[in-house]
């Protein structure tokens, strides 16, 4: 079918992360990751979920002693480890062209500093990639998605320790050599900017393990190490897999000035740049001037090795990927204004937008604005690797899941992607919806915050059969893919 809305070969698909979907947290030689000690807290309100991401050493020790599996939801995930073949077959049934997943570092190097990789872990992903190949699904692999091995917390200063760069490079060398015949598209660090907002899950950093007053320094040092590690990962991937494409991954935060007051506009610009800084560093291969100024003002001096700047400059990424869920407003005087939650941050509520059940503001037009801004800024191909609606799904009396709210959300976002391609000239490689198979929420550890086309029968406490059920959105997305997006405009 000829198509004007989306280019031929557009990569339609969905995304997951190992720590949220696999389960099997201690099987076949896997080591613990930071995700395995984060808990579902039934009495924490959704508004306070940010606290879930700030963990103390005492909480980690309690988690290590706790043998009650109920609340450590990421330890069981959606049992994808056991259901892998069935899951990939379901993705194939929807016609997926691409499947974004992450490799759990702790399945390959259980403690990150191990001498040799764990063969059982390597085999699991090889089997998975073979299934993808069998079904002509292109894998898009995140090397690190909120799952650094826990040993980096307990015996190192997380990503603030320089040695971690070498450990990561070794891991990347192993996986890119092993999967060179299966994986062309790679992402280095998921939402690399989230080091600032949740340093534990991104950087294996726990505040109480640092001398008082030095945590900010540690966070930015860890950021620097990830920039260098990402550049080296790009180099190695290109060497090990000729023709491979390596992308950075940004949480795209879209800020509108709350009013035309220039101070609100200035605030929106500042918040946008605080976010762009992370992609700027990975695309342009150097610290942007405003990030350097910000660090100087904070009195933070990054410790660099002699070749770090050169490495960052020599090995920038090939494309820019990002997550987009919602937008928010910026105000120079936010105190009296209503707040809106967002993907791991809070902003000023936009009175023109509806919100999800978790208070995230729904803004498809903001996706088009984001695509245009990113393409103008970087002039590199873009890839939307997360987008979706977290919602409560119910099984109806007819045994089906009628998730028309999800269809509506995705449909509006897909339509503006086409507008950005056709009217704004944006080069967009593909689109992977978040949590295509229901999985455990990153922020709240809830199973009941569902994003999938495929329902997984398990509740927040791990009760259920883990059986897979196709939601209405499953059939809707299948048609979108089959028609390369034409059905969106029927």
Q: For binding to ligand BG6 (CB under 6 A), which residues are involved?
A: 17, 20, 146, 190-191, 251, 323, 343-344, 386, 390, 434, 441-444, 449
386 counts as catalytic: yes
Q: Over the Cα atoms of the chain, what is R_g?
A: 21
Query: Which is closer to ligand BG6, CB of 421 or CB of 454?
Result: 454
Please give the structure tokens belonging to residue 357.
């059940």
Nearest to 279 by CA among 305, 317, 307, 242: 317
Contact (Cβ atoms closer than 8 angstroms) between residue 147 and residue 104: yes
Strand partners, 186: 141, 246
Query: Which is closer to ligand BG6, CB of 334 or CB of 359?
Result: 359
Least distance (Å) from ligand BG6 to the CB of residue 443?
3
Nearest to 322 by CA among 411, 430, 409: 430
Least distance (Å) from ligand BG6 to the CB of residue 370?
15
Query: Which is closer to ligand BG6, CB of 350 or CB of 445?
Result: 445
Which of 191, 301, 310, 394 is catalytic? The answer is 191
Query: Which is closer to ligand BG6, CB of 6 or CB of 40?
Result: 40
Least distance (Å) from ligand BG6 to the CB of residue 445?
9
Least distance (Å) from ligand BG6 to the CB of residue 53?
9
Contact (Cβ atoms closer than 8 angstroms) between residue 199 and residue 154: no
Distances (CA, A) of 153 to 20, 112, 357, 446: 20, 11, 34, 24
Query: Which is closer to ligand BG6, CB of 161 or CB of 190?
Result: 190
Which of 147, 386, 423, 427 is catalytic? The answer is 386
Q: Round to whole Å and give the CA distance between 27 and 121.
A: 9
Nearest to 220 by CA among 194, 196, 244: 196
Least distance (Å) from ligand BG6 to the CB of residue 407?
18
Strand partners, 341: 346, 360
Least distance (Å) from ligand BG6 to the CB of residue 425?
28
Nearest to 186 by CA among 9, 427, 429, 439: 429
86 counts as catalytic: no
User: Chain-centre distance of CA 19, in angstroms?
Assistant: 11
Please give the structure tokens belonging to residue 136.
């002509």
Query: Which is closer to ligand BG6, CB of 17 or CB of 348?
Result: 17
Q: Round to whole Å and give the CA distance between 394 and 407.
A: 15
Sheet of 254-257: strand order equals 254-257, 327-330, 346-348, 339-341
Q: Round to whole Å and give the CA distance between 267 and 258.
A: 10
Least distance (Å) from ligand BG6 to the CB of residue 98?
16
Q: How many residues does the chain have?
A: 490
DSSP structure class, residue 338: P
Please give the structure tokens belonging to residue 249.
């991954």
Strand partners, 339: 348
Query: Which is closer to ligand BG6, CB of 319 or CB of 434?
Result: 434
Taking CB positions, which residue lies at the least distance from ligand BG6? 443
Which residues does the annotation mark as catalytic?
191, 386
């Amino acid at each position: 079918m000829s198509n004007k809305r989306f280019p031929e070969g557009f990569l339609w698909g969905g995304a997951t992360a190992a720590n949220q979907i696999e389960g099997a947290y201690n099987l076949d030689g896997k080591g613990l990751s930071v995700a395995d000690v984060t808990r579902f807290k039934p009495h924490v309100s959704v508004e306070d979920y940010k606290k879930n991401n700030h963990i103390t050493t005492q909480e980690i020790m309690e988690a290590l002693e706790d043998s009650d599996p109920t609340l450590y939801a990421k330890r069981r995930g959606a049992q994808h480890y056991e259901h892998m073949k069935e899951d990939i077959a379901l993705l194939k049934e929807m016609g997926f062209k691409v499947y974004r997943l992450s490799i759990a570092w702790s399945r390959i190097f259980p403690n990150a500093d191990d001498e040799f990789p764990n063969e059982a872990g390597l085999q699991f992903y090889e089997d998975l990639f073979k299934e993808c190949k069998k079904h002509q699904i292109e894998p898009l692999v995140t090397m690190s998605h909120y799952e650094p091995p826990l040993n980096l917390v307990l015996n190192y200063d997380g990503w603030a320790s320089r040695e971690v760069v070498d450990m990561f490079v070794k891991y990347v060398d192993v996986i890119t050599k092993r999967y060179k015949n299966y994986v062309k598209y790679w992402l280095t660090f998921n939402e690399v900017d989230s080091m600032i907002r949740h340093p534990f899950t991104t950087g294996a950093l726990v505040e109480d393990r640092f001398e008082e007053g030095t945590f900010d320094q540690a966070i930015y040092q860890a950021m620097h190490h990830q920039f260098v590690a990402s550049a080296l990962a790009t180099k190695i991937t290109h060497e090990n897999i000729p023709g491979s494409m390596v992308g950075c991954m940004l949480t795209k935060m879209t800020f509108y000035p709350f009013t035309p007051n220039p101070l609100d506009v200035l605030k929106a610009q500042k918040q946008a740049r605080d976010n762009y800084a992370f992609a700027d560093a990975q695309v342009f291969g150097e610290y942007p001037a405003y990030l350097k100024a910000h660090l100087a003002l904070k009195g933070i001096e990054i410790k660099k090795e002699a070749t770090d700047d050169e490495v960052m400059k020599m090995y920038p990424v090939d494309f820019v990927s990002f997550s987009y869920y919602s937008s928010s407003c910026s105000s120079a005087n936010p105190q009296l204004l209503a707040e809106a939650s967002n993907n791991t941050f809070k902003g000023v509520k936009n009175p023109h937008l509806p919100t999800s059940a978790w208070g995230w503001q729904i803004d498809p037009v903001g996706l088009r604005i984001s695509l245009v801004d990113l393409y103008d800024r970087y002039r590199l191909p873009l890839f939307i690797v997360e987008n979706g609606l977290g919602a409560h799904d119910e099984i109806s009396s007819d045994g089906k899941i009628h998730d028309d709210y999800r269809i509506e959300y995705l449909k509006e976002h897909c339509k503006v992607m086409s507008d950005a391609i056709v009217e704004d000239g944006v080069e967009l490689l593909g689109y992977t919806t978040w949590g295509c198979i229901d999985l455990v929420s990153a922020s709240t550890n809830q199973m009941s915050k569902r994003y999938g086309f495929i329902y997984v029968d398990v509740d927040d406490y791990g009760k259920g059969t883990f059986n897979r059920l196709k939601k209405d959105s499953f059939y809707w997305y299948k048609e979108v893919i089959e028609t390369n997006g034409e059905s969106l405009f029927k």
